[in-house]
Structure 1
Amino acid sequence: MIPYWRLSAYYFFYFAFVGAFSPYFTLYLQSIALSATDIALLMSLMQLMRVLAPNLWGWLAERLGMRIAIVRLSALASLAGFSVFFLTTEFAGLFAAMALMAFFWSAVLPLIEGLAFAHLGEASHRYGRIRVWGSVGFIVAVLALGHSLDRLPIEAVLWITMSILVGIVLCSFIVPEAPRPPLQRDAASFGDTLRRPEVRALLGACFLMSAAHGALYVFYSIHLVGMGYDKGVVGWMWTLGVLAEIGVFMWMPRISVRFSLRAILLFSFACAVARFLMIGWGAHSLALLLLAQVLHGATFGAYHAAAIAVVNEWFPGRLQSRGQALYGSISFGAGGMLGGLLSGYTWEGIGPAWTYTIGSGFALAGLLWLLLGWKGEPRPAHALHEPRR
């Protein structure tokens, strides 16, 4: 039996943490008089640890077959790391706390993704309907905290985020382990898979897509507040993007019947090129901001659902955990770190508009790499569509 609700609950709290932390923790850091560079350095630790930690944890999970044990350990250690934020406002202390929390927190998602696909088995088309609860959790957190901060002090970010981490710990103890997939004799090795040109193109393009989103995740809330929008509007903007993402997750089985994974990815990159230009140069227009946030359904929802399905297909069996970890490390890790750090240096130097233009350039480079590196007629998106009856 598929542990549908237990997996869904974990995704809910995991992305509720993202909804509380990503939009508002930077506002807390700004309130304690950190510079844009310091904020970018701290936030980039989340991406740096996504480069280092998932591959270590994925390797251990593959060797030891203890995915859920690592998930539980990581949840507890993440909670311990975050608690240090209550004890200091000095940069060195904040840096140590962020590094500890990020090292363990970044280990979890690739393992949970692997567990979800292992539990789903032949019903992998149901992934989007489990993952959608993560988007719901994000919306609940970002809306509740956004409106709360119009009345509560900014320090409320710490308490609310801490309570969500407690929820992650509790959920980690109700998600069951999945049977280890058998090693397929005819499957290529990990190294052989990485040597395929379409695999390199996908991973390179994913790196650039996350780099394109760097300024969004670090400075979007600061950008909107600086343009005169209140925190409630900021919360609704983040929510609109995730509502679009939810719609895409729910419709993905039908979309992927008509379009290949490659086509979905190319469309997502094209949307990212336009989206970041709109945010950079059109933030004075509420209409353009609304349109840019609707495009989040493509630049994250469709992109991630298609990319993770391709990774699941190209890294089968016992390569699954390492494949998902590599995808997370290269894209959300290395790519996000580059985008976040670069935006920290350009934000005060050349301004928000040109910072987001650089992000648009990253997306364009990713589009071209994917277009030229993954050639030929792609296979249908079997990992996403509903089985025909």
Structure 2
Amino acid sequence: MTAALPYWRLSGFYLFYFSLLGATAPFLGLYFAHLGFSSARIGELLAIPMLMRCVAPNIWGWLGDRSGRRLQIVRLGAVCTLATFALIFVDQSYAWLALIMALHAFFWHAVLPQFEVITLAHLGDQAARYSQIRLWGSIGFILAVIALGQLFELYSLDLYPWALVLIMGGIVLASLWVPNALPLARDDMSSDEGFFRQLLNPVMLAFYLSVGLMQLSHGPYYSFQTIYLESLGYSRGLIGQLWALGVVAEVLLFLVMSRILSRYSVRRVLMASFLIAALRWLLLGAFADHLLVLLFAQLLHAATFGSFHAAAIHFVQRRFGPGQQGQGQALYAAMAGTGGALGALYSGYSWSSLGPFCTFAIASLAALAATVIIATHLQEERA
């Protein structure tokens, strides 16, 4: 890292931001179940913030590209995320929770795409080292799932909203510590093309469709994995450690990701990620009651999120010019949100009617479809 790079300030923001994801992904569905909601209602509530991810990042991305005030958008989003989520202390009815899910997600999803652009601007020609900063987000996720898993092993889930508010406060403080940076103009052809013209390229359409399918395949995992494992007899403390194990594998992969991307094309990395995801969902659906298989499946998170996300971020960064970076990253977030929302919805409805195995089997098919799309549309090129 160069002396000018604010490594710890950028890393600190990722630490807190993904701590919030570590607090919500494993435990939000469990908290809704604690409140007495059915699997269908849980799926609907979890789909709402993902649906907002389809809309909000594009609005904020357009605003960021037009105004250039990305850091101000990050700070505003962090403050409003905290303020709107705090409404959960007013009421916990289904309608009120649905409103809170929508409001806080609208601002939360403003934050990360704009911050990704700021991070890449700080990195400059060292973009391949993005993973070395992003890995601190994974560390934050690990700390959150282990700490909250132990907390809810000992105490009631009634403490859950207070834990989220505390983490959101950390995001606000971290956003105030980060210095601004703007993308530099590039001489490549993509910088001269308009955003929508870029999207008409079949390669771009294929990429974004595969992103949606990958996140759809994660629907059962992010919505019902904790509930599923608890039904199989695993303790909440162990469940938190299992979630953490997957992210530990992700961190280790991030440490070598720059070397992987310098050796293999984005196409190959994405194809491998999708194929491993298809295998992982089948293992979870069929053999989650076997601890050794479950441990192996969690290690595969290194590919189903780690290599996939790092390759996707690099792909977007290379394909869009500086004036479209915010919109490109926002569309990536939006397609991930669309897929995630559909995944949460289908898994919510199929969980009680078809069961865990069929629900995860559908997820596996979605990942295989993404493999075919990437294999037939992306060219071999280095990240």
1:164 to partner: Cα distance: 0.4
Q: What corresponds to 1:369 in structure 2?
A: 373
1:237–1:293 CA contact under 8 A, matched in 2: yes
Pick one of 168, 188, 200 that aligns with 1:165. Answer: 168
1:141 to partner: Cα distance: 0.5
For residues 80 and 91 of structure 1, what CA distance do their matches in structure 2 show? Answer: 19
Structure 2 unpaired stretches of 5+: none
Pick one of 352, 356, 375 that aligns with 1:352. Answer: 356
| Aligned AA (1:308) | I
2:217–2:366 CA contact under 8 A, matched in 1: yes
Matched, 1:284 2:289: yes
For residues 333 and 154 of structure 2, what CA distance do their matches in structure 1 show? Answer: 36
Matched, 1:330 2:335: yes
Matched, 1:214 2:216: no
Structure 1 unpaired stretches of 5+: 382-389
For 1:220-235, list aligned pairs within 5 A: 220-235=225-240
- TM-score normalised per structure 1: 0.95
Bigger proportion of residues as helix: 2
Q: What corresponds to 1:122 in structure 2?
A: 125
1:28 to partner: Cα distance: 1.3
Q: What corresponds to 1:50 in structure 2?
A: 53
1:184–1:317 CA contact under 8 A, matched in 2: no
1:316 to partner: Cα distance: 2.2
Matched, 1:199 2:170: no
For residues 355 and 83 of structure 2, what CA distance do their matches in structure 1 show? Answer: 36
1:183–1:318 CA contact under 8 A, matched in 2: no
1:123 to partner: Cα distance: 1.5
For residues 218 and 171 of structure 2, what CA distance do their matches in structure 1 show? Answer: 25
Pick one of 263, 268, 272 that aligns with 2:268. Answer: 263
Aligned residues: 378
Pick one of 39, 42, 45 that aligns with 2:42. Answer: 39
2:120–2:130 CA contact under 8 A, matched in 1: yes
1:172 to partner: Cα distance: 1.0
| Aligned AA (2:362) | I
For residues 183 and 365 of structure 1, what CA distance do their matches in structure 2 show? Answer: 34
SS of residue paired to 1:179: coil
| CA RMSD of superposed structures (Å) | 1.2
1:82 to partner: Cα distance: 1.1
For residues 151 and 178 of structure 1, what CA distance do their matches in structure 2 show? Answer: 44
List per-residue Cα deviations over 1:246-268 (Å, max 9, x = no partner): 01100112222321111111000
Q: What corresponds to 1:273 in structure 2?
A: 278
Q: What corresponds to 2:89 in structure 1?
A: 86
For residues 261 and 183 of structure 2, what CA distance do their matches in structure 1 show? Answer: 28
1:296 to partner: Cα distance: 0.4
1:65–1:180 CA contact under 8 A, matched in 2: no
SS of residue paired to 2:153: coil
Q: What corresponds to 1:68 in structure 2?
A: 71
SS of residue paired to 2:225: helix
1:285 to partner: Cα distance: 0.8
Structure 1 range deviating more: 172-181 or 271-280: 172-181
Task: State the identity as a percent.
Answer: 43
